[in-house]
Structure 1
Amino acid sequence: MHDASLMPLLTALVAAVAIAAAAYAIMYPYISADRVKDKRVASVSETRTRKITAVSAAEVAANRKKQVADSLKDMENRKKTREKVSLRLRIERAGLDIEPRTYWIASAVCAVVSAALAKAFIPASAGGLAPLLLIVALFVGGFGVPRFALSKLTGRRQKKFAAELANAIDVIVRGIKSGLPLNECLAMIAKESPEPVASEFREVVEEQRVGMPLSEALDRLTRRIPLAEVKFLAIVVAIQQQSGGNLAEALSNLSSVLRDRFKMAAKVKALSAEAKASAMILGALPPGVMLMVQVSSPEYIAPLLTTRTGNIFIAVGLVWMGIGIMVMRKMINFKF
């Protein structure tokens, strides 16, 4: 009877102990020192992992910057060693398929023709000034006119190349995105692009076929076409070959930059057209007036050609005209 009355109490006590044990088992990981230790260890490990990852990323970025700097320095050193431009290279830049000997023959013929024209137009009243004018005509015809013509041909060819280079880079970008190798893209440009882009990239492809590295072939291209746009292309390809990266994205950005530069050049040309026309008129006015006076009234201008004082005035006038032309050229020659 007494035992029966204690059974509910024992049952409640056992149930309370069981519930307390279960609660302690559940809460033990959260209140024990091991849990705090595990949290600290995990925090330290995570922080260390983050530090290692950050250091690795910084090392990768530093190595990439170092490779880019080394590439630029190497290209600059090669440019300094090849600074001297030979006559054959100037002829290649002009797009002429002739030998230097042919150029010198043409220069001699031009000098003789210039001297003959000067002798025909120099008046008899020039006196002692006539031999000096003949020497000047020989010098201008033999050295000035051929170099001027070569420079004009080179500038015209480089402008055509720069105008089509962005389209050629777009062809490379589309070819790379479609899965073609870079060599095939260059061969496609050599076949389908207009001149002079096709002939220059054809030279690059031929140099690669004989075993020349692409970076060196593009470096030779920068010597034949010394434009900033071509140097940008060579630098981008050289850096991509050494340090890797998305070549299509880099060339796409380069194409956008080249188009913006071309638009800026066209805008500058339009804004400076009036100033250039004024400079040309001012530069041509004094010799033009002198020629008209010589034709209409030769006796009026004869003292300038026959007397020593007149010759001094002509020399001083030529010096001042040269200074004025250089100043006007500096004022209208915009760098961008």
Structure 2
Amino acid sequence: MTGALLLALSPLLLGVALLLFRLALYKRGEERILQRLGRAYRSVRSGKARREWFDPLLQRAGVDTAAFNPRPWLLAWGGLVMAGLLASGWAFGLMVLLSVPVLGYLYLSWRYRLRVRQIIQQLPGLLDYSVRSLKAGRTLNDSVLGGIDGTREPLRSAMERVRRNVRLGVALEVAVSELAELYDQDEMRLFALGLRINQQYGGNASELMENLIKLIREREQGTRQLKALTGETRVTAWILGALPLSMVGYFLLGNPGYLLGMWRDSQGQMLLLLAFAFQALGCLVLWRMMRSL
């Protein structure tokens, strides 16, 4: 039994070992480059996109990618999978193997949506400061960058990325456009488009920003009205998603032998896994429907 379990775990452990080895090689090369370039590069590297595929998701969620170390999380994940295999067999271990990344992705997505909502709510304040600075005679770059110090998180850290890129020689409209693509928001794309048009063809930048402020506030008001009108649908979706899980919890508290007996049987185990898969699929469909409202 132990030999078969170790044989089943060997591909997972080999993959984790290869990933840790790759991260170690990348870290060593990065430190070698930092020693050549000096400490000045260290202060701006957090604003640069690194090579890992999950870096954009971490940056959108507000995680410092320069200080983030994935190795403890990978080791904890492997430990949970091994504990699940030893405690309840391959089915539970497979469930842990698949559910941990999904839960991590959902958590980062939730943080990203919360962060973007706060950024869009704070953006009119920055634009209003820029309008007043433009009317006072300051340049467009100074008006936009000068208002960063007066903003709050998370808009401040997002705009600090723009300021660092501008100091490195990137045009303001290009830096804002890169930020808009990172957060995937139409309001920031309109802001970057207005800056690009103003830089290339001229025009009244203060009037453009005033119209953008009005557009953001009207869109926010429309979103709130839509949420109020669809509140009953949202509550229904939450009830439908939570009802099966509530029934499972009730059975575990009232008659735990009922579900545990199914879990010990091979056919019952497959039925429970199939029910779990359908529950996850149904929650995904309801979530997509709620996002479209």
- Give TM-score scaled by structure 2 length: 0.73
Equivalent pair of 1:118/1:137 in contact (CA under 8 Å): no
CA RMSD of aligned residues (A): 2.7
Between Structure 1 and Structure 2, the one with more helix by share is: 1
The separation in 1 between residues aligned to 2:57 and 2:236, in whole angstroms, is: 31
The separation in 1 between residues aligned to 2:229 and 2:141, in whole angstroms, is: 41
Letter of the aligned partner of 1:139 in structure 2?
L
Identity %: 23
Query: Over alpha carbons, which structure has the higher Rg?
Result: 1
> Cα 1:332–1:202, aligned 2, differ >3 Å: closer, same or farther?
closer
Give 2:160's match in structure 1, choosing from 202, 212, 215.
202
The separation in 1 between residues aligned to 2:62 and 2:267, in whole angstroms, is: 47
Counterpart residue number, 1:92: 59
The separation in 1 between residues aligned to 2:257 and 2:184, in whole angstroms, is: 51
Counterpart residue number, 2:218: 260
Give 1:132's match in structure 2, choosing from 77, 87, 91.
91
> Cα 1:171–1:117, aligned 2, differ >3 Å: closer, same or farther?
farther
> Cα 1:178–1:235, aligned 2, differ >3 Å: closer, same or farther?
same
The separation in 2 between residues aligned to 1:85 and 1:167, in whole angstroms, is: 34
Letter of the aligned partner of 1:96 in structure 2?
V
Structure 1, unmatched stretches of 5+, are: 1-81, 123-129
Letter of the aligned partner of 2:208 in structure 1?
A
The separation in 2 between residues aligned to 1:115 and 1:261, in whole angstroms, is: 49
Tell me how far 1:282 sits from its aligned partner.
Answer: 1.7
How many residues are paired up? 244
Equivalent pair of 2:58/2:65 in contact (CA under 8 Å): yes
> Cα 1:289–1:115, aligned 2, differ >3 Å: closer, same or farther?
farther
Tell me how far 1:181 sits from its aligned partner.
Answer: 0.8
Counterpart residue number, 1:276: 234
Structure 2, unmatched stretches of 5+, are: 1-48
> Cα 1:150–1:328, aligned 2, differ >3 Å: closer, same or farther?
closer
| Secondary structure class of the residue paired with 1:91 | helix
Higher RCO (Cα < 8 Å, 6 or more apart): 1
The separation in 1 between residues aligned to 2:290 and 2:171, in whole angstroms, is: 41
Letter of the aligned partner of 1:217 in structure 2?
A
1:172 aligns with 2:139: no
The separation in 1 between residues aligned to 2:85 and 2:217, in whole angstroms, is: 47
> Cα 1:109–1:315, aligned 2, differ >3 Å: closer, same or farther?
closer
Counterpart residue number, 2:179: 221
Counterpart residue number, 1:13: none
> Cα 1:233–1:287, aligned 2, differ >3 Å: closer, same or farther?
same
Deviation per residue, 1:152-194 (Å, 9 max, x gap): 2222211110110112111111211221111221232211111
Large movers: runs of 4+ above 6 Å = 117-120
| Secondary structure class of the residue paired with 1:86 | coil
- Give TM-score scaled by structure 1 length: 0.64
Tell me how far 1:230 sits from its aligned partner.
Answer: 0.7
The separation in 2 between residues aligned to 1:97 and 1:173, in whole angstroms, is: 31
Give 1:148's match in structure 2, choosing from 90, 93, 106.
106
The separation in 2 between residues aligned to 1:254 and 1:280, in whole angstroms, is: 35
Tell me how far 1:259 sits from its aligned partner.
Answer: 0.6
Give 2:246's match in structure 1, choosing from 288, 300, 308.
288
